[in-house]
């Protein structure tokens, strides 16, 4: 398994971009590498307060926050907004850990 690069931004360590995957796969991948999928609030905070430190993040990222049983929130790093999407959709993933 490839070694994952982690970067401390704010109070959390963020993984490198792990590519696009479904929400379920994203949760599994984060757990597998010793992290977790960030919440919608953590992603929005990253965009709002640490944009300089994450300027290479220009994509749509899954959050762990569920909207309903079939939907979860993702955050756009183009606009800093959050939207719900079907969990089988594919978006980029970054994991977090303390």
Greatest Cα-to-Cα distance within the chain, rounded to the nearest angstrom = 34
Mean pLDDT of all residues in the chain?
A: 92
Confidence of residue 77 (pLDDT cuts 50, 70, 90): confident
Residue 28 has pLDDT above 90, yes or no: yes
At residue 45, φ and ψ (nearest 5 deg) are -60, -40
What DSSP character marks residue 57?
-
Give the helix ranges, DSSP H, for the chain. Answer: 23-32, 40-49
**pLDDT per residue over 53-71, tens digit each?**
666 667 899 999 999 999 9
Domains annotated for the chain, with CATH where assigned, are 12-97 (3.10.100.10)
E strand map for the chain: 6-9, 12-15, 20-21, 60-66, 71-76, 81-86, 91-92, 96-97
**Cβ 63 vs Cβ 40: under 8 Å:** yes
Give dist(CA 26, CA 88) in Å, integer.
11
- What pLDDT does 91 receive? 97
58 vs 96 pLDDT, higher one: 96
């Amino acid at each position: 398994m490839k070694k994952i690069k982690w970067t401390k931004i704010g109070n959390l360590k963020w993984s490198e971009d792990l590519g696009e995957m479904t929400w379920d796969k994203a949760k599994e991948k984060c757990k597998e590498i010793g992290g977790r999928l960030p919440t919608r609030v953590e992603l929005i905070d990253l965009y709002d307060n640490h944009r300089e430190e994450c300027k290479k993040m220009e994509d749509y990222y899954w959050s762990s926050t569920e909207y309903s049983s079939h939907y979860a929130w993702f955050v756009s790093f183009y606009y800093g907004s959050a939207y719900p999407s079907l969990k089988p959709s594919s978006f980029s993933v970054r994991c977090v850990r303390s």
